[in-house]
Structure 1
């Protein structure tokens, strides 16, 4: 093997090692960033209660089935298409809460919720997650 071929071979090996290190470093950064994103998504932004008539409870999703609901807060609001009812959409991750909501559909309820920064696809479609249900009737 000539000296030129030897230099080219060593250079290619050096570049290969550096590229491998770079790719492993980028992969590690992507994993850490993903875990950090999931952790931040779990933070509670606000919490509180809302009261109204429970008008809808369902499971939604093709891949991830989530528990979703809708509460009529009363009154009306205007939109481009006219006047619409003042409704509030929410989710829950707890099956016991979902079953209780199914029993109380059509009743006046008070819902205790937590608002998250960003829901993950398997958690729910909204930022609002119900923890507790109380009947007001």
Structure 2
């Protein structure tokens, strides 16, 4: 009877560990988003994290003849990426990100984690100077 209880306990621990890994550490998706960097801040009560928002413009609205914008909210854990974004407020940026199924407090308040800044350009209407970033 003890052997069955041990095996059952180990199975439960393995299943629970797998669920936690899938929910918080499995990279669900990867991609690139581009738009105007609306804001980028470091905030938090216990865990100070970098949070930002990119406004993607020009998506078609459900109403004919109108345009709507889409916001991409993200978090950043890498200090190097955070420094690049702090200098890019109000500019057009291309960001590479990873998407997780769940968020962790020390990783930020978003399921989207930006891992790289691909390019930074001045917004339309300004002089267009491209600043490529490489790691």
Superposition TM-score tier, normalisation by shorter sequence: 0.5 to 0.7
Matches within 5 A, 1:15-94: 33=16, 35-40=17-22, 41-75=24-58, 85-94=69-78
CA distance in 1, matches of 2:68, 2:51: 20
Contact 2:98 2:114 in 1 (8 A): yes
CA distance in 2, matches of 1:38, 1:136: 39
Residue 127 of structure 1, CA deviation: 0.8
Gaps of 5+ in 2: 123-135
Question: 1:49-80 deviations in whole A, cap 9, x for unaligned?
Answer: 011010100112111111100001013768xx
Specify the alignment match of 2:120 in structure 1.
135
Structure number having the greater helix percentage: 1
Question: 1:100-133 deviations in whole A, cap 9, x for unaligned?
Answer: 1001111101000010111111111111110111
Residue 110 (structure 1) aligned to one of 72, 77, 94? 94
Change (3 A) 1:31 1:121: farther
3-state secondary structure, aligned to 2:84: helix
Gaps of 5+ in 1: 1-21
Contact 2:27 2:100 in 1 (8 A): yes
CA distance in 2, matches of 1:56, 1:31: 41
Using the size of structure 1 for normalisation, the TM-score is: 0.67
RMSD across aligned positions (CA): 2.9
Structure showing greater Rg: 1
Residue 38 of structure 1, CA deviation: 4.1
Change (3 A) 1:106 1:90: same
